[in-house]
Amino acid sequence: MERTLILLKPDALQRGIAGKILTRFEDKGLKVVGLKLMTMSPDLAATHYAAHKARPFYAGLVRFMTSSPIVALALEGNDAIAICRKMMGATFGNTAEPGTIRGDFGVSRSYNLIHGSDSAAAAERELGLFFPEGVVQWDYHAFRWIYDAEDELGG
C-alpha cells in the first residue's frame, strides 16, 4: 500500500467540483485516510512550494493557493501515486487528455484544479505538512474486492 497527498485547489472548490473529483478517486478504489477543508496559510504555501521559489510564477501561485479554501486528501492504495498522477492528467487543462480530471474539467494554464505528490519521497514530505497529526488507520473491506491480492492484504 502506498499513500499520496492530493490537494483540490481553490478553483476546484470555487467551481463546486470538489465532490466530483473526490468521487473519481473513490470510484477508482483508493481509500481516503485523511480529508481536510482548510485555508492554506502563506507559510504553509511557501514551505509546500519552496522548490519553485526562484520561478517567475511563484508569487502568483502562493497568492492563488491562499486565496480560498482547499481540500487536502490523503489517499491510500496499491500504486496510489502513479494512479492519481494518471487520473489528474497533464498539468495544463488545455493539453490534458479527455477522461482525466484536468482534461474533463480544465482549460486554463494557470488554474489546474489539483495537486498530487509526484514521488514517494514527496508524498511523505507533503503528507507531513498537511496531516502533521497523521492519518486515520481503518479497515477498508472493499480492498478485498478491488485487488486480487489476498496475500498482500493479509487474507
Catalytic residues: 115
Mean pLDDT of 75-86: 98
Q: Which residues contact 64 (CB under 8 A, 6 or more apart)?
A: 9, 10, 110, 111
Identify the pLDDT of residue 148: 79
Query: For the chain, what are the domain ranges?
Result: 2-131
* Whole-number Å distance between alpha carbons of 48 and 52: 9
Mean pLDDT of 36-65: 96
Identify the pLDDT of residue 149: 61
Model's pTM, two decimal places? 0.93
CATH topology of domain 2-131: Alpha-Beta Plaits (3.30.70)
Q: What is the DSSP letter of 74?
A: E
Residues 96-145: pLDDT tens digits?
999 999 999 999 888 999 999 999 999 999 999 999 999 999 999 999 89
